[in-house]
Amino acid sequence: MLPVPQRSHAPEWMDRADNTRADLEGALRDIELTNRLLGGRKALLRALRPHLAPGPSGRLELLDVGTGSADLPLALACFAESSGASVRITAVDRDPTTAGLAAEQTASTTCVRVVQADAFRLPFAPRSFDVVTASMFLHHFRHEDVVRLLDSFRSLARRAVVINDLRRHWLPYGFIYLVARLTRRHPMYVHDAPLSVLRGFTAPELREAATEAGAADFRLDRRWPFRLVLTLPAAARA
């Protein structure tokens, strides 16, 4: 059996502050394709299915942090509506160009609004959302910050927090390293996608972070092919 690689903290190009719109657009398009073809979207929708009931506003209020092009909020809005649920999604990204691209991509729907904000300084009151989600986002941070973010997401949620991220392993690393090159993906994706796998988590690491964030009762699912989906309950009312 292959040993699990050490967790990497090397920087991703996507996290640079001076990326061009064309580069972000190209890399986000490739991430969108990965979500569609490699299980990311399916894993998220499956985890959200039990949480689609409307909240106090009469509809499901959801926050998606580190939203990228907002492809997942859009997929979720369609999915919720096809299940008869009314939904409003707030999609947050720190990068102004990315937030602009997400706003353009969601312009045709009133179900998704885009807010440019830093996940560590979110401009929302506690318990503002029924559900908080973050996909392929937590791997951008070190353990202490992952714990801080989980804690803050739990206090923003009334019901649950759903985290969808990458499982660190040599197999998905080798796979995405080769496929990204052979299929001539965008250079930012070619650099960041295999690195993201090395910045991903093992199941025990995510369990430890959830426990340190104060969640006594949580669920961790492995989803095909190399995804981890962590579902935490909202923080108890103060």
Ligand X SMILES: C[S@@+](CC[C@H](N)C(=O)[O-])C[C@H]1O[C@@H](n2cnc3c(N)ncnc32)[C@H](O)[C@@H]1O
Binding interface with ligand X (CB under 6 A) = 14-15, 31, 35, 40, 66-68, 71-72, 92-95, 98, 118-120, 135-137, 140
Cβ neighbour number for residue 155 with a 10 Å cutoff: 21
* Pick 54 or 144: Cβ nearer ligand X: 144
| Distance of closest approach, residue 207 Cβ to ligand X, in angstroms | 21
Cβ neighbour number for residue 38 with a 10 Å cutoff: 19
| Distance of closest approach, residue 213 Cβ to ligand X, in angstroms | 17
* Pick 43 or 60: Cβ nearer ligand X: 43
* Pick 14 or 206: Cβ nearer ligand X: 14
Locate 6 and state its tokens: 């050490």
| Distance of closest approach, residue 117 Cβ to ligand X, in angstroms | 7
Place of tokens 């991703």: 12
| Distance of closest approach, residue 118 Cβ to ligand X, in angstroms | 5
* Pick 3 or 75: Cβ nearer ligand X: 75
Q: Which residue is nearest to ligand X (CB)?
A: 68
Give the DSSP H/E element, type plus range, for residue 161.
strand 157-166
| Distance of closest approach, residue 122 Cβ to ligand X, in angstroms | 8
Q: Do residues 150 and 205 touch, judged by C-beta distance below 8 A?
A: no
* Pick 36 or 222: Cβ nearer ligand X: 36
The DSSP secondary-structure symbol of 67 reads -
Provide the pairing of β-strand 157-166 with 87-93. Answer: unpaired
Q: Do residues 176 and 193 touch, judged by C-beta distance below 8 A?
A: yes
Please provide the DSSP assignment of 6-33 as one string: PPP-PPPGGG-TT--HHHHHHHHHHHHH
